[in-house]
Structure formats: C-alpha cells, structure tokens
C-alpha cells in the first residue's frame, strides 16, 4: 500500500506534540509545493500507521 497525501478538513481537537527537529525538517521538505499542511500530513501518517497495524494484527 502506498501512502498518498490528501487535502481535507474535518472537526478537530488541538493537541500539543513535540517533534525532533530533524523529523520536522524531513516532513517540511516532503510538503514543499504539495498544498498540504504539517498537521494534515501528521494526521494522514497516523491513520496510515494505525490502518497498517490493524492489518498486521489480523494476520
């Protein structure tokens, strides 16, 4: 399965999370000219990780 960035907005809750600077830099590089916010990327990456964890648990 390939991770694909999507642009969508939904009801949200604010959470504070600390990221290593190196990881922030890597994410920001990927997002250049993608019209996707940092928050949207993190949400999509978390959903992708959770979906794949569930698939592994089922096997």
Burial 24-37 (b: 16+ CB within 10 A, else e): eeeeeeeeeeeeee
How far apart, in Å, are the Cα atoms of 42 and each of 3, 8, 28, 38, 51? 12, 13, 11, 6, 14
pLDDT score recorded for residue 10: 72
Using alpha carbons only, give the angle 45, 59, 57 rounded to the nearest 5 degrees: 50
pLDDT of residue 59: 56
Instruction: Give pLDDT tens digits along the chain (59 positions).
Output: 788 777 666 788 889 999 999 999 999 999 999 999 999 999 999 999 999 986 656 65
**Domain limits, the chain:** 21-58
């Amino acid at each position: 399965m390939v991770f694909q960035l999507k642009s969508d907005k939904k009801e949200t809750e604010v959470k504070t999370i600390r990221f290593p600077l190196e990881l922030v830099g890597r994410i920001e590089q990927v997002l250049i000219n993608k019209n996707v916010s940092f928050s949207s990327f993190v949400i999509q990456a978390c959903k992708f990780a959770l979906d794949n964890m569930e698939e592994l648990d089922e096997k």
